[in-house]
Amino acid sequence: MTVKNILLSAYSCRPHHGSEPEVGWQWATNLAKLNYKVTVITHVDNKKKIKNVRNIRNLSFIYYDLPKFLNFFIKNKDYNRNYLYLILWQFGIFFLVRNILKNKNFDLIHHVTIVSARIPSFLAFLDKPFVFGPIAGGEKIPDKLKNCLTFKEKIFENIRELSNSYISFSPLMNACFYKSKKIIVTKDTLRLIPKIFRHKCKISCSVGIDKFKKKRITENKQKIFNICYVGNMIGLKGIEIIFYTFSKLLKNTNKIRLNLIGEGDKSRLLNLIKKYNISSYVNYIGKVEKKKLTKIYRNNDLLFFPSLRDSGGFVVLEALNHYLPCAVLDIGGPSNFISNKNGIKISPKNKDIHQISNEFKLRILKIIRNQYEYNIKINFIKDDIKKYSWKKIVKNVINYSYNI
């Protein structure tokens, strides 16, 4: 059957926002550009941002929120972390779409956000071909690195891992997998899919690049090597690895600076900075608007993002798009984009924070001291970044999953 009319389920869908809202937006707009007629069902909170964008041919939106009486009882309005809200929202759109189908036909229904293997889509149970994904969440923090987390973060990770182990037994998730024609997963999430359904699966990146930037100038005239971190300043992003590694680097050179961009527990950050005695060399910038990140990427020499688990790693792709080499762990989404040719990638297998930080120190020192090798990495970025265009990612998934 030829697919022409698509209903796209994208709870998160917002332009120029990053993270999951960007995933929903890119799927919607790229499908429309490929001449599919796309109707997106999304959360009502996205309406204002979407309305600010000029009309895109082949693309329309349906906005949905839970009834007011249910919203009143769900106190936590951080919807992306509220499992109950997300389940109820998915349940609500099932009845909405079922009524829509009485008067409008869709060739296929495709769920793209929330990008989680723990949240079922009830749209799979409608009498239409259904594609589930990209879904993620199978990433796991190595046991030896859990000491980098606070007590609260460790509790959260244990609950998350328990939740992941339940997926293969979950009646709702198994029913969703069963009803799906195709399932799109990140590489670490494939292990969460019961073996009986894996023949339906395709591994794909969950994030991509929209517009490509011009190559940056690589010569460091100030002779100060600027290392930046961009993201939430929490344990699972590897904050302590960053500080520990930076303290080791300072023993070899003082011509370095660490620039921190993002939000987090400031008192904890200050304690870690004091613990590693690096305060004179750290610049805490805090949260900045997305449009200001371009200048930050251009003014730094390395993005240090040793996330302990990250399904997407959108900030790494953003940095690469600005020809900024990245240092990451060989875990999850960031490891898809970084090699030891275009950046620095350290395997965490059977290693603790001391071993990992020492490896990062040696590798970072090498590019600080050798401009030629640093420039080679940037040249490899130029070749690699085109692989991760949203257009290519969407087309690859379409070629696999829309042939029904």
The phi, psi pair for 324, rounded to 5°, reads -105, 115
Of the candidate ranges 72-86, 113-127, 228-242, 254-268, the one whose mean pLDDT is the lowest: 72-86
Same domain flag for 138 and 260: no
Domain that holds residue 396: 5-210+389-401
In the chain, the amino acid numbered 231 is G
Q: Is residue 219 part of a domain?
A: no
Q: Is residue 368 part of a domain?
A: yes
User: Tokens in use for 74?
Assistant: 């769900």
Same domain flag for 383 and 393: no
**What is the average pLDDT across 18-43?**
92
Q: For the chain, what percent of residues have pLDDT higher than 70?
A: 94
Predicted confidence at residue 67, as pLDDT, reads 83
Same domain flag for 376 and 233: yes
Tens of pLDDT along 93-113? 999 999 999 889 999 999 999
Angle between helices 353-369 and 371-384 (to 10 degrees): 100
Same domain flag for 58 and 169: yes
Q: What is the C-alpha to C-alpha distance for residues 39 and 54, in angstroms, rounded to an integer?
A: 16
Predicted confidence at residue 2, as pLDDT, reads 73
Tens of pLDDT along 320-333? 999 999 999 998 88
| Residue 287 pLDDT greater than 90, yes or no | no
Same domain flag for 147 and 35: yes
CB 167 within 8 A of CB 147: no
Same domain flag for 245 and 340: yes
**What is the average pLDDT across 238-242?**
93
Q: Is residue 339 part of a domain?
A: yes
Positions of E strands within 186-333: 201-203, 225-230, 256-261, 282-286, 302-304, 326-329
Q: Is residue 48 part of a domain?
A: yes
| Residue 84 pLDDT greater than 90, yes or no | no
Closest CA to 398 of 58, 8, 113: 8
Predicted confidence at residue 62, as pLDDT, reads 95
Band (262; pLDDT cuts 50, 70, 90): confident
Q: Is residue 311 part of a domain?
A: yes
Q: Is residue 229 part of a domain?
A: yes
Same domain flag for 370 and 395: no
User: Tokens in use for 388?
Assistant: 């991760």
Q: Is residue 216 part of a domain?
A: no
Band (220; pLDDT cuts 50, 70, 90): low
User: Tokens in use for 233?
Assistant: 């300043």
Predicted confidence at residue 43, as pLDDT, reads 93
| Residue 404 pLDDT greater than 60, yes or no | yes
3-state secondary structure at position 253? coil
Same domain flag for 54 and 106: yes
CATH number at residue 187: 3.40.50.2000
3-state secondary structure at position 201? strand
**What is the average pLDDT across 120-126?**
95
pTM of the model: 0.87
Q: Is residue 381 part of a domain?
A: yes
Predicted confidence at residue 333, as pLDDT, reads 84
Band (209; pLDDT cuts 50, 70, 90): confident
Same domain flag for 314 and 397: no
Task: Provide the terminal-to-terminal Cα distance of the chain, rounded to the nearest Å.
Answer: 6
Of the candidate ranges 12-21, 157-166, 363-372, the one whose mean pLDDT is the lowest: 12-21
Tell me how many domains the chain contains. Answer: 2
Same domain flag for 308 and 190: no
CB 40 within 8 A of CB 140: no
Same domain flag for 187 and 260: no
| Residue 252 pLDDT greater than 70, yes or no | yes
Same domain flag for 166 and 197: yes
